[in-house]
């Protein structure tokens, strides 16, 4: 049976773009279907615009604490509308670059919702009228539609923002209540507070960043508290209502708060609803699509990558999944994605980075008797003359039996830049002795990784 295309990619985010571009570079006839701008979550409403806001928050933080260096700022003003406008312009520029790269590779772009008619046919649907604009068919279909913010089922929830809404703001609020204790909630709490917004943060559990090493969680908790973010642990949002132009939040505990706005950042979930997957009867893994080691679903010609499968939901992971898919099926290369020692970062201020096993994970796998912890905490030299004396924390988790480094964790400035090189070392099977035998670069923060002795 002949099809119009060799490959249809549903979703033009990081993973879908990577797959479409690489498949097209091998000579495949490729179509991509996208309902929004080209670029997906990372480019449009995630990593990129958020990191630009982090730079703004860091710059202001440094400016207000620079008097010890002789840099006197009598008055620092922040115009949030300028920042938000510039962020949107940069996002549009990047989206345009991606669109042009697709054109150069002769990838056909269809604007609209992708909806399955059958295993080889996808309808392009107008998101407003739900009219079918076009039907396209292909030998293989790759689903890469990404995720969407989870929505709380509480009264008044539609009055609150999701993380997707932040980048469409015209100005920052004076007061903000943030719901959630994960990386999205903590990052935005840091951004808003360092740019002058008063922040209250509601956390369901008793720790920030569930799943991260507990020492990292504790460091962040101390830092955010010292910054003036009002952390409310072991509590949940019960309802929201509007009162005289402001929003009143009522918690399960009975506490009430009145703020300009509310941001619900309680995680993300796969955006699969619009695809009409019930027509295909694909196997699921909880809320995610079930795939094998080469990202093939239970239907042999349909594949899935990115935030809709139960793998680390990170941009570089989705990109690699897309490229591996294209290499395997359009260049016959027989590749697999390496999920070992994937570095992660949380762009709070200071930031967090981690690679490998946390102390808790290592203890569970190898037992407490078989692991050794090396850890140091200190005030970085950059804070010597600042009022802000936030500390750095560096930590190594080591397997006693073979001296292998199992995990590396850091809290402090430039943590994400430092951990990238450490992840290369972990993938190479580095030992603690290798760290000890490496000469330090002084004076730096990263030198502490090779000077920790127990």
Is 454 among the annotated ligand-binding positions?
no
Is 51 among the annotated ligand-binding positions?
yes
Is 356 among the annotated ligand-binding positions?
no
Is 286 among the annotated ligand-binding positions?
no
Is 42 among the annotated ligand-binding positions?
no
Look at residues 402, 396, 394, 392 and name the one whose alpha carbon lies nearest to residue 358.
Answer: 396
Question: Which residues, including other chains, have CB under 8 Å from residue 74's CB and lie 6 or more apart?
Answer: none
Is 320 among the annotated ligand-binding positions?
no
Cα angle for residues 423, 424, 425 (degrees, 5° grid): 90
Q: Is 23 exposed, middle or buried (0-12, 13-18, 19+ CB in 10 A)?
A: buried
Sheet holding 392-399, edge to edge: 344-346, 352-356, 405-411, 392-399, 371-378
Q: In whole angstroms, what is the distance from residue 412 CA to residue 347 CA?
A: 10
Is 215 among the annotated ligand-binding positions?
no
Is 213 among the annotated ligand-binding positions?
no
Is 20 among the annotated ligand-binding positions?
no
Q: In whole angstroms, what is the distance from residue 220 CA to residue 204 CA?
A: 16
| Placement of tokens 């498949």 in the chain | 23
Look at residues 139, 179, 175, 147 and name the one whose alpha carbon lies nearest to residue 160.
Answer: 179
Is 183 among the annotated ligand-binding positions?
yes
13 and 322 in contact (C-beta within 8 Å)? no
Is 181 among the annotated ligand-binding positions?
yes
Is 180 among the annotated ligand-binding positions?
yes
Catalytic residues: 442
Binding residue positions for NAD(+): 180-187, 267
Binding residue positions for FAD: 51, 114, 307
Binding residue positions: 51, 114, 180-187, 267, 307
């Amino acid at each position: 049976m002949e099809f119009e295309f060799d490959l249809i990619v549903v979703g033009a985010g990081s993973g879908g773009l990577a797959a479409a571009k690489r498949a097209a570079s091998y000579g495949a006839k490729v179509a991509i279907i996208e309902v929004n701008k080209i670029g997906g979550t990372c480019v449009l409403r995630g990593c990129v615009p958020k990191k630009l806001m982090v730079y703004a928050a860091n710059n202001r933080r440094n400016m207000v604490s620079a008097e010890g260096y002789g840099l006197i700022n009598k008055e620092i003003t922040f115009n949030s509308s300028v920042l938000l406008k510039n962020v949107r312009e940069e996002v549009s520029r990047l989206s345009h670059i991606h669109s042009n790269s697709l054109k150069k590779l002769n990838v056909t772009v269809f604007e609209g919702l992708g909806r399955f008619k059958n295993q080889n046919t996808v309808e392009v649907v107008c998101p407003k009228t739900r009219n079918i604009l076009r039907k396209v068919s292909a030998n293989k279909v790759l689903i890469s539609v990404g995720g969407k913010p989870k929505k709380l089922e509480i009264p008044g929830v539609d009055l609150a923002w999701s993380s997707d809404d932040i980048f469409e703001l015209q100005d920052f609020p004076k007061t903000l209540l943030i719901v959630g204790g994960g990386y999205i909630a903590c990052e935005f709490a840091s951004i808003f507070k360092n740019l002058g917004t008063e922040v209250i943060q509601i956390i369901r559990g008793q720790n920030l960043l569930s799943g991260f090493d507990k020492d990292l969680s504790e460091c962040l908790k101390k830092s955010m508290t010292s910054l003036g973010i009002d952390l409310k642990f072991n509590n949940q949002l019960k309802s929201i209502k509007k009162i005289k132009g402001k929003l009143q939040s009522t918690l399960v505990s009975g506490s009430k708060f009145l703020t300009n706005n509310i941001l619900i950042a309680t995680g993300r979930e796969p955006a699969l609803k619009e695809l009409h997957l019930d027509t295909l009867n694909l196997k699921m893994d909880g809320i995610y699509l079930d795939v094998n080691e080469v990202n093939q679903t239970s239907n042999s010609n349909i594949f899935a990558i990115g935030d809709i499968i139960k793998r680390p939901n990170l941009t570089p992971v989705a990109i690699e999944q897309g490229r591996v898919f294209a290499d395997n099926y359009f260049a016959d290369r027989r590749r697999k994605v390496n999920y070992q020692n994937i570095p992660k970062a949380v762009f709070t201020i200071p930031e967090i980075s981690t690679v490998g096993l946390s102390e808790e994970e290592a203890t569970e796998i190898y037992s407490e008797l078989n692991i050794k912890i090396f850890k140091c905490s200190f005030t970085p030299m950059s804070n010597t003359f600042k009022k802000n004396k936030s500390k750095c924390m560096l930590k190594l988790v080591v397997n006693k039996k073979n001296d292998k480094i199992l995990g590396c964790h850091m809290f402090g400035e430039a943590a994400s830049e430092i951990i990238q090189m450490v992840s290369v070392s972990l993938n190479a099977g580095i030992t603690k002795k290798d760290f000890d035998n490496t000469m330090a670069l002084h004076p730096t923060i990263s030198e502490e990784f090779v000077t920790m002795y127990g």
